[in-house]
Amino acid sequence: MKGSMFATRTCQALLVLFTLLFLFPAANTQAQPDGEGLFKSQCAQCHSVGENKVIGPGLKNIHTRKNQEWLVKWIKNSQSLIKAGDEYAIKIYEEANKTVMPAFALSDEEIISILDYVKAEGEKAATTAVKGPVGAGETADAEPGFPWVLLIVILTLLIIFVALGKVKTSLERLVRSRQGLPELEPVTTTRATKNWVRSNKKLIAVLFVVGSVWGSIKGWDALAGIGISQDYAPEQPIKFSHKLHAGQNGISCVYCHSGALKSRHANIPSVNVCMNCHKYVQEGPVYGKTEIAKIYAALDYDPNTQQYGPDQKPVQWIRIHNLPDLAYFNHAQHYVVGKQECQTCHGPVQEMDVVKQFSPLTMGWCIECHRQTEVSMDGNGYYTELHEKLKEKYGEEARMTVEKIGGLECARCHY
Partner 1 sequence: MKMNVNRFSQGLVLVAAMAFITSCGKDSSKPGLEFMPDMYRSPSYETYAPNTMFDDSVSALVPVKGTMPRDYTFFNYPSTNEGYEAAGRDLANPFEKNQLNLDRGKYLYENFCMQCHGATGGGDGSLIATGKFPPPPSYITGVSSRGGNMRDLTPGKIFHTITYGINLMGSHASQLDPEERWKITMYVRDMMAAAEPAVAADNSEANTGAANN
Kindly list the residues in this chain that would bind partner 1 in the complex (CB under 8 A): 40-41, 43-46, 54-55, 100-102, 157, 161, 164-165, 168, 196, 199-200, 203, 207, 210-211, 214, 218, 222, 225-229, 231-235, 248-252, 254-255, 258, 265, 268, 270, 272-273, 275-277, 279-281, 313-314, 316-317, 319, 322, 324-326, 356
Q: What is the dihedral of CA 185, 186, 191, 193, to 10 degrees?
A: 140
Distance CA 242, CA 207 (A): 44
User: Concatenated DSSP letters for 272-338?
Assistant: HHHHHHHTT---BTTTBTHHHHHHHHHHTEETTTTEE-S------PPP-----TTS---HHIIIIIS
| Residue closer to partner 1 (CB basis): 215 or 406 | 215
Q: How far is the CB of 401 from partner 1 (least distance, A)?
A: 26
Indicate the SS3 state at residue 401: strand
In this structure, what DSSP letter does residue 143 have?
Answer: -
| Residue closer to partner 1 (CB basis): 32 or 322 | 322
Q: How far is the CB of 248 from partner 1 (least distance, A)?
A: 6
Distance CA 158, CA 161 (A): 5
Q: How far is the CB of 56 from partner 1 (least distance, A)?
A: 9
| Residue closer to partner 1 (CB basis): 347 or 405 | 347
Distance CA 168, CA 174 (A): 10
User: What does the radius of gyration of the chain's CA atoms come to, in whole angstroms?
Assistant: 37
Q: How far is the CB of 369 from partner 1 (least distance, A)?
A: 21
Distance CA 258, CA 268 (A): 9
User: Concatenated DSSP letters for 157-209?
Assistant: HHHHHHHHHHHHHHHHHHHHHHTTPPPPPPPPHHHHHHHHHHHTHHHHHHHHH
Distance CA 285, CA 70 (A): 37
Q: How far is the CB of 263 from partner 1 (least distance, A)?
A: 9
| Residue closer to partner 1 (CB basis): 72 or 228 | 228
Q: How far is the CB of 110 from partner 1 (least distance, A)?
A: 16
For residue 386, the surrounding DSSP H or E stretch is helix 384-394
| Residue closer to partner 1 (CB basis): 242 or 404 | 242
Q: How far is the CB of 269 from partner 1 (least distance, A)?
A: 8
| Residue closer to partner 1 (CB basis): 16 or 261 | 261
Q: How far is the CB of 164 from partner 1 (least distance, A)?
A: 7
| Residue closer to partner 1 (CB basis): 48 or 113 | 48
| Residue closer to partner 1 (CB basis): 228 or 408 | 228
Q: How far is the CB of 72 from partner 1 (least distance, A)?
A: 19
Is residue 296 a contact partner of residue 302, using CB atoms and an 8 Å limit? yes
The contacts of residue 125 (CB under 8 Å, 6+ apart) are: 49, 50, 60
| Residue closer to partner 1 (CB basis): 72 or 233 | 233
